Amino acid sequence: MAFDIDMIKGVYASMGERIEKARELVGRPLTLSEKILYSHLWEGTPSKQFSRGKDYVDFAPDRVACQDATAQMALLQFMHAGKPKVAVPTTVHCDHLIQAKVDAKTDLKRANETSNEVFDFLESVSNKYGIGFWKPGAGIIHQVVLENYAFPGGMMIGTDSHTVNAGGLGMVAIGVGGADAVDVMAGMAWELKFPKLIGVKLTGKLSGWTAPKDVILKVADILTAKGGTGAIIEYFGEGAISMSCTGKGTICNMGAEVGATTSTFGYDESMDRYLRATDRVDVADAALEVKEHLTADEEVYANPEEYFDQLIEINLDTLEPHLNGPFTPDLSTPISKMSEVAKKNDWPLNVEVGLIGSCTNSSYEDISRAASLAKQVSDKNLKTKSKFTITPGSEQVRYTIDRDGFIDTFNSIGATVFANACGPCIGMWDRYGDKAANGPRNTIVHSFNRNFAKRADGNPNTLAFVGSPELVTAIAIAGRLDFNPVTDKLINEDGEEVMLDEPRGYELPPEGFAVEDAGFIAPSEDGSGVQVAVSPTSERLQLLEPFVPITTESLQGVKLLIKAFGKCTTDHISMAGPWLRYRGHLDNIANNTLIGAVNAFNKQTNFVKNQLTGEYGAVPDAQRAYKKEGIKTIVIGDHNYGEGSSREHAAMQPRHLGVAAVLVKSFARIHETNLKKQGMLGLTFANENDYDLIQEDDTFNFIDIADFAPGKQLTLEIVHADGSTDTIMANHTYNQSQIDWFNEGSALNVIKKENA
């Protein structure tokens, strides 16, 4: 499906020399993660050693993947880069905007009606700029990537946190914000702090009721939801080798739930089998030739404590099936303890729905093992107690499991098969209509990855537990959260006691994968004539105008928009929830700008003084009033301003509305970079106490902005309402290229100029 074998061979051709050089520089054997990182440096062959957890490094990823919700703004920006085509292979996947309600066919039809303008836009931009387009119903981004694009030893970025799923095929695959994706699509370097390394040694072998999912549920228990932050988790050992490639994908997928930068596995035969089964013999052959580069040096796994920052060991022989939850994926309970723990916590034991599938767990192996349990319902004259749903990860998987009779088996227990899309995993499950916010307290079990409050059905009172597809199916059959299929019996329709046999399945389809229409649309060879259609009256999409540079003159008489108090994350600056609908329309989504930030003067949110009228009101309203008068504004912030997601909207929206500068005690680094990319001033107080000098009616003059230079502080005169003044110094971290971004109005304007 248009995977680029020449690109992959090119990566492999230079890997040996780069790894050799890195080994020499580092002075010791290398882990797999280090091999992939050092062989993907922007500079090419490494020239120095990097410090883990400290150095920021420029990388050159091999691929980019975007999902439909995040791709909108990324592509709108890319259109400004002035490039005829993307610089690296890129794909767009329509999966997040499809609501699960009735069944696959009905739901897909409705999504195509309600979101057609977004899908049409994404398709036409993809066609124009050489981007592979996966239409609605083709599947979920990460399953489609694993089936078609992931390759051992590669590096990719994707605009979705579960991009890490591709680690199952031995990649370093990382979730990023749209702005990072735009950089790489436009041919620029991508920056990342060189990660720390966590090794997970898997001994023993999975058997019986235990599945790969239980490995990551156990890792989440050990590391907790933040324990992997800033690190790559590298799995190895006999347990890793004995596992399927798609099982490895499940484990890597949920690395996002422990905050890990990504997770990966060394190349082994399971990857070779998967590549060949998914029609990529060329890639399998190419990988086989360089296999020593696609796993760690032998010495590393023999003495892992010397090479990893942290080491975890899990014995698969004794690992039990787990259920994690509710409300957080790291609250782990072995199934044998669930009866006791659930009673103690007063969790409702009656399970209303069991849901399997999603990007995390919808491999042929997962589905065939779950189907082996569903089949026992009729064989043993049982009755399924809970509702049961399946969201296949791709059309290829759906078609193949249909051909092999598994969908019929699931139908026989009354299952609903939803579209090949995110659906219930991302709150796109219309379970309660408009009554979700006050839904009843109830329990569901699913094989997805996240189980935060409201994540599946919008009901804050739904307790969601995460388990393997096998365990979810068994629990749905039993209808009870505390059902332990390893030891517990069920009563069948004849009143007899029966036990479920252990799940059995196939790693790969014995008859091979099949599909009629995978849902891929290749871009035009020459897209120059393709028109990108965006209706001027659309409320969801808006073509971007290049930002006009902020001039020296406009930085005199700058008004205070808001002095934010305490935590101000990207969610406070650009809220999600219902605003997601406007992710592709900058002016509309700008109506949520800073509405979550707390005003330091009255401790209220979205209630600031408009200095022009003296009246108080919403932040976006005050800002639009200043904009109308051509007055630039400044935002003042506390520590770690802009923490949270890498969402570029948090910088683009203030920029669009006329905010010129953000002056804070300290920044979350990605947000600081995003401000720079959008041609704004991101500054920090040279003296933190100066934050206290800022008053509600202040006006700012950037006295020496004309001399803006790397390493040179800026002087700000603050004029208070009574006419008194204070002069303060501001630090910045702009290098010369970033000052060029400021001078030209944005990083994209600079790229465009270079391409003109």
Catalytic residues: 95-96, 160, 450, 645, 647
Residues 577-636 that bind ligand F3S (CB under 6 A): none
Q: Single out the segment in contact with ligand F3S by CB under 6 A; choices: 195-203, 419-427, 534-542, 571-579.
A: 419-427
Over 341-359, what HEC string results?
HHHHHCCCCEEEEEEEECC
Position among 176, 300, 425, 598 found at the interface with ligand F3S (CB under 6 A): 425
Q: Does 426 bind ligand F3S (CB under 6 A)?
A: yes
Q: Using only C-alpha atoms, what is the Rg of the chain?
A: 27
Taking CB under 6 A as the criterion, the residue among 34, 62, 123, 160 binding ligand F3S is: 160
Q: Where are the alpha helices (DSSP H) in 135-185?
A: 141-148, 178-185
- 449: contact with ligand F3S by CB under 6 A: yes
Contact between 606 and 680 under an 8 Å Cβ cutoff? The reply is: no
CB within 8 Å of 506: residues ≥ 6 apart: 364, 365, 368
398 binds ligand F3S (CB under 6 A): no
Q: State the Cα torsion 664-670-675-679 to the nearest 10°.
A: 140
Instruction: Between 39 and 362, name the residue whose CB sits nearer to ligand F3S.
Output: 362
Can you tell me the distance from the alpha carbon of 292 to that of 691, in angstroms, rounded to the nearest whole number? 55
Smaller CB separation from ligand F3S, 448 or 513? 448
CB of 145 to ligand F3S, least distance (A): 10
| Cβ density class 229-238: b for 16+ within 10 Å, e for less | ebbbbbbbbe
Residue 428 or 714 having the CB closest to ligand F3S: 428
Query: Please, what is the minimum distance in Å from the beta carbon of residue 360 to ligand F3S?
Result: 6
Q: Which is nearer to ligand F3S, 95 or 744 (CB)?
A: 95
Q: How far is the CB of 140 from ligand F3S (least distance, A)?
A: 5
CA distance linking residue 482 with residue 645, whole number of Å: 36
The partner residues of 311 in beta bridges, in order of sequence, read 199
Q: What residues between 338 and 357 interact with ligand F3S by CB under 6 A?
A: none
Residue 466 binds to ligand F3S (criterion: CB under 6 A): no
We find the least distance from the C-beta atom of residue 95 to ligand F3S, in angstroms, to be 6
- The least CB distance from residue 157 to ligand F3S, in Å, is 15
Q: Do you know the residue count of the chain?
A: 756
The answer to whether residue 100 forms part of the interface with ligand F3S (CB under 6 A) is: no
Compute the distance between CA of residue 699 and CA of residue 691 in angstroms, rounded to an integer.
Answer: 14
Structure tokens at 25: 């520089």
Quick one: which H or E segment has residue 315? strand 310-315
* Burial state string for 475-507 with b = 16 or more CB within 10 A and e = fewer than 16: bbbbbbbbbbbbebebeeeeeeeeebebbebeb
Cβ 66 to ligand F3S shortest distance, Å: 11
The nearest distance, CB 239 to ligand F3S, in angstroms, is 25
Shorter beta-carbon distance to ligand F3S: residue 39 or 253: 253
Nearer to ligand F3S, 35 or 583 (CB): 583
Contact of 223 with 258, CB cutoff 8 Å: yes
Give the residue from 542, 553, 631, 556 showing the smallest Cα distance to 588.
Answer: 542
Stretch that binds ligand F3S, among 120-128, 186-194, 420-428, 498-506 (CB under 6 A): 420-428
| Min separation Cβ 177 and ligand F3S, Å | 16
- Among 359, 477, 490, 663, the residue binding ligand F3S under the rule CB under 6 A is 359
- Decide if 168 contacts 263 (C-beta within 8 A): no
Which of 67, 264 has the CB closer to ligand F3S? 67
**To which residue do tokens 């589905």 refer?**
367
| Residues 3-42 contacting ligand F3S, CB under 6 A | none
> What's the token pair of residue 415?
């299952």
Binding flag, residue 162, ligand F3S (CB under 6 A): yes
| Minimal distance, residue 392 CB to ligand F3S, in Å | 11
Nearer to ligand F3S, 70 or 738 (CB): 70
Contact yes or no for 714/732 (Cβ under 8 A) = yes
Instruction: Determine, following the binding rule CB under 6 A, whether residue 422 of this chain makes contact with ligand F3S.
Output: yes
Phi and psi at residue 611, to the nearest 5°: -65, -20
Kindly tell me which residue out of 358, 542, 569, 746 binds ligand F3S, with binding defined by CB under 6 A: 358
Complex with ligand F3S: residue 90 or 449, whichever CB lies closer: 449
**Interface size with ligand F3S, residues (CB under 6 A):** 13
Closer residue to ligand F3S, CB minimum distance, 93 or 128: 93
Considering Cα of 60, then 62, then 68, then 73, what sign does the dihedral take? Answer: positive
Per DSSP, the three-state class of 38 is helix
Minimum Å gap between C-beta 162 and ligand F3S is: 4
- Rounded (10°) CA dihedral 503, 507, 510, 512: 140
Alpha helix (H) ranges present in 290-332? 298-302
Q: What percentage of the chain's residues is helix, strand, coil (to nearest 5)?
A: 40, 20, 40
**Cβ atoms 170, 271 nearer than 8 A:** yes
444 DSSP β-pair partners: 353, 464
Task: Fill in the per-residue mask, 118 to 147: x = in contact with ligand F3S (CB under 6 A), - = not in contact.
Answer: ----------------------xxx-----
Binding site for ligand F3S (CB under 6 A): 95, 140-142, 160, 162, 358-359, 422, 425-426, 448-449
